[in-house]
Structure 1
Amino acid sequence: MGFDQQEPTVFCVKQGQSGLWDVNEEGFDKPLASFDSADDAKQYADDLAKNKPGASVKFTD
């Protein structure tokens, strides 16, 4: 097994402690972006996933 093999990217959408909806890459704490609405956050995560082969979105409410 080589080091160049990677797990598929998962973008997570969840409500942060500040009340905003955060989008982050699974395994990383710092959000890529934060939004007032869950719909906007999910749309952003979906757009990111479309541009990265094999990526998916996980939504936690």
Structure 2
Amino acid sequence: MMGLDQKGSTVFCVQQGKSGQWEVSEEGFDKPLASFDSPEDAKKYANDLAKTKEGSGVKVID
């Protein structure tokens, strides 16, 4: 599905990776776009990315 839902929007996922870092990835892709020490930094990055793509959103996975 390439990280797209029915509306064609992109979802950026924020979750803690195996290394303990917080990773931002595009839903449907394994490779993280970026890694951060704190969840706040990862969420900010994901939200900034979402603003650049119309109709996209952020999902935080605890």
The TM-score with structure 1 as length reference comes to 0.89
CA RMSD of aligned residues (A): 1.4
- Summarize the alignment of residues 1-61 of structure 1 with structure 2, pairs less than 5 Å apart: 7-61=8-62
Report runs of 4+ in structure 1 exceeding 6 Å deviation.
none
Which runs of 5 or more residues in structure 1 are unaligned?
A: 1-5
CA deviations over 1:10-59 (Å, ceiling 9, x no partner): 00000000000000000000000000000000000000000100000000
> TM-score, normalised on structure 2?
0.87
Aligned pair count reads: 57
Unaligned runs of 5+ in 2: 1-6
